[in-house]
Structure 1
Amino acid sequence: MARRLHASRTEGVDKNVWVEFTKLAADYKAVNLGQGFPDFSPPKFVQEAFCSAVSGGPLMHQYTRAFGHPPLVKNMAKFFSRVVGHEIDPFEDILVTVGAYQALFSAFQALIDEGDEVIIVEPFFDCYQPMVKMAGGKAVYVPLRPVYKTEELQMIADLCIKHDMLCISDEVYEWLTYDGAKHVKIASLPGMWERTITIGSGGKTFSATGWKVGWAISSGHIIKHMKIIHQNTVYHCATAAQEAVAQGFEREYEVFGTPESYFKQLPAMLQHKRNKLASCLQSVGLQPIMPEGGYFMIADISSSTGEELYDFRFVKWLTKEKGLATIPVSAFYSPEHGKEFDKYIRFCFV
């Protein structure tokens, strides 16, 4: 029976857009602007912290606390308490995971019961749907329209409170905002701390995606369930990488809000890259949609010549014929809504 259940939950979730298009890019030796990770090094202060950790003694090469390296959770609690406006307990309210990916997995496995409906706002990171299905949940899709403001965020919070719902908020790009836009944590809104699981990433925060240090922050009564999943899957995260991220947060706490803060320097650099990419796309007749945050820019390909505008076909043509790999935007929508958004492709400008 266990084998049958496993098969039913994973049936149809084995396809992966990253596997398909990364292989295509490699086969055609294309410039890959599909997948999102930096082509530059992390800031010197965290590189030096990592080097110091691995050369500083035997303890950094051994297990640390399973739910998060003590210096890391302490520094994160201090830093994010100020951001959220709520006192965070480092040992009860934070779980450190193998990247944000495992934080998401732990949240879905711990908090979704068989048959639960899970509202997913589209476009969505493509692991959400299979992770919900693996947990036995039923995905319900709501497509995002280009009017998303703080008022909509407050409306979501009000609905969560009214219907006693949990909110899983993936905020890995929280520091990457442009044109004066500010990221608002939904956990900071009234009544949302005790019902929000905020997912974060050291890889995105400090441009070190290969370190695979992520976290979930929430009220201890929620985190305790996620700890059980973590303990019985990966159990532990790399000690030295956690130490480096801990020192990164310690430094950022001291310089937060100043020009010396990496959380100000990184978006300033990426805003320049974003503008450069937009100019390139416009020069070849594509219509960029300027993002206010994150690593990615979407372009409207409706003005392109040719009869077949379907985004998957266009991306394959672009990779094979022009040596430029991108990602089709409809891959981040449900089958029922994908057709409404198949005139867009996504570029990474990091």
Structure 2
Amino acid sequence: MIQHEMASFRHTHSKIIEGLDNHVLAAFIFVAADPCIVNLGPGYPDLPPPAYIKEGLVEAARVDRLNQYTRGFGHPSLVKALSQVYGKVYDRCIDPFKEILVTVGAYGSLFSTMHGLVEEGDEKSVNKASLTSADWVLDPDELASKFNSKTKAIIINTPNNPVGKVFTREELQVIADLCTKYDMLCFSDEVYEWMVYKGHEHIKIATFPGMWERTITIGSAGKTFSVTGWKLGWSIGPEHLVRHLQTVMQNTLFTCPTPLQEAIAQGLVREYSVMGSPDCYFSSLAVELEEKRDRLATILQSTGMSPVIPEGGYFIITDVTALNTDLSQMGDDDAYDYKFVKWMIQEKKLAAIPVSAFCGVDSKKEFEKYVRFCFIKQKKTLRGVSVAQPAEH
């Protein structure tokens, strides 16, 4: 019998993935398979996508040529549709072939952006470090302290996951002023752009003076049309930046599935014709989600938790410290929110995501009292939360 001594095997992982093996979603994904658990952890809908999107995929698959490779940087009909929709949003002409890249999800867009525009050792600033937990506003002094002449780029996320904050025009102007002052790039993750609630407005930082030429804006078909399993995203920006993202794409994933791109293209064309009206899915989904947000917030408050009402997106974070839950049996090594989520899954059959998983080392302790719930769910799923055993407090 041949015995393999794995301990002495000389091959190991590359440095680039150091510390990336323990992903929070992977750690809690097992709960999805248990039908007894109300799973409000991962950020995917259990609502059906628009019927015309599903029908569009069926029709696309029936066309033989659409089952083959398409243009690597984005299916022609899709980039043209994106150019139409976002040309209206930006109030500028967007070249569909030179200023747009279609990728495998928004993750793919961020991957292409970072590998195409950022060198190892370049300094990046991530906006979440400058959100104060007391009032969820951007702290301009703290943000400014992160910048210097060596800073290459800032990554922002609005509407924000997990907080649900929508950055105001004044806050975005602070960021824009720093970008122009230090001649930096801006990578703006705006995948929840259509999910903004009453009293708030999503504003694209790329529309600010001097920002188009230095901004890559990331969007998502999965979030736009509630088809997260399709994994289609896009990057929009000036040609002199986007061409480097295209280089990354052509040398890594090459292209995205043609039928999926065609179906999204047809969906965008349809919505473009009704943009700004209540019939537009971009508008109607936000109205539907606002009701779900308020329902879940009420349920969480009734258990003794303190939810932070989101301005956008489809997550709600809640402070669980008032429950004073005994977590002594959940181990000592994990952060408080990790232990609380494990306890809640085990004892209350309810799953969420610990918020400290989104934080850097410096801010992790500050956010251990929060857990995140997803509310883009059917009524019966949210009803499952209300009939779960009430939390102890």
Same structural fold, with TM-score higher than 0.5 when normalized by the shorter chain: yes
- Corresponding residue for residue 348 of structure 1: 374
Secondary structure of the structure 1 residue equivalent to 2:210: coil
- Flag the structure with larger Rg: 2
- Corresponding residue for residue 229 of structure 1: 248
1:81 aligns with 2:87: yes
1:331 aligns with 2:350: no
Distance 1:142 1:54 in 2: 37
Secondary structure of the structure 2 residue equivalent to 1:266: helix
- Corresponding residue for residue 47 of structure 1: 54
Deviations 1:212-270 (A, max 9, x none): 11100010110111111101111010111101111111111110001110011101111
- Corresponding residue for residue 190 of structure 1: 209
1:235-254 matches, within 5 Å, as 235-254=254-273
Distance 1:141 1:83 in 2: 21
- Corresponding residue for residue 277 of structure 2: 258
From 291, 300, 307, give the equivalent of 2:319: 300
Secondary structure of the structure 1 residue equivalent to 2:28: helix
Distance 2:13 2:241 in 1: 26
Secondary structure of the structure 1 residue equivalent to 2:188: strand
Deviations 1:42-98 (A, max 9, x none): 11221221111112x211101111101111111111110111122110000000011
- Corresponding residue for residue 30 of structure 1: 37
Deviations 1:1-55 (A, max 9, x none): xx99972222112210000011255469521101011102111221221111112
Tell whether the 8 Å contact from 1:123 to 1:332 is kept in structure 2 after alignment.
Answer: no
With over 3 angstroms needed to count, the CA separation of the structure-2 counterparts of 1:162 and 1:4, relative to structure 1, is: farther
1:96 aligns with 2:81: no
1:1-350 matches, within 5 Å, as 7-24=14-31, 26=33, 29-55=36-62, 57-122=63-128, 148-306=167-325, 308=327, 310-350=336-376
What count of residue pairs does the alignment treat as equivalent?
335
Deviations 1:280-320 (A, max 9, x none): 10111111111010010011112112355911111110011
- Corresponding residue for residue 132 of structure 1: none
Deviations 1:116-160 (A, max 9, x none): 011112279xxxxxxxxxxxx999999999795221111001101
Distance 2:13 2:365 in 1: 30
Q: Unmatched 5+ residue regions in structure 1?
A: 125-136
**AA at the equivalent of 2:303:** V
- Corresponding residue for residue 129 of structure 1: none
Relative to the length of structure 1, the TM-score reads 0.90
Distance 1:324 1:336 in 2: 29
With over 3 angstroms needed to count, the CA separation of the structure-2 counterparts of 1:235 and 1:315, relative to structure 1, is: same
Distance 2:264 2:30 in 1: 31
**AA at the equivalent of 1:300:** D
With over 3 angstroms needed to count, the CA separation of the structure-2 counterparts of 1:38 and 1:28, relative to structure 1, is: closer
Same amino acid, percent of matched pairs: 51
**AA at the equivalent of 1:327:** I
Distance 2:116 2:274 in 1: 36
Deviations 1:184-223 (A, max 9, x none): 0111111111100000000100111111111000101101
Distance 1:140 1:224 in 2: 20
With over 3 angstroms needed to count, the CA separation of the structure-2 counterparts of 1:169 and 1:38, relative to structure 1, is: same
**AA at the equivalent of 1:51:** V
**Considering only aligned residues, what root-mean-square deviation do their CA atoms show, in Å?**
2.6
With over 3 angstroms needed to count, the CA separation of the structure-2 counterparts of 1:226 and 1:140, relative to structure 1, is: closer
Distance 2:308 2:129 in 1: 14
Tell whether the 8 Å contact from 2:155 to 2:188 is kept in structure 1 after alignment.
Answer: no
Relative to the length of structure 2, the TM-score reads 0.80
Q: Unmatched 5+ residue regions in structure 2?
A: 1-9, 131-150, 328-334, 377-393
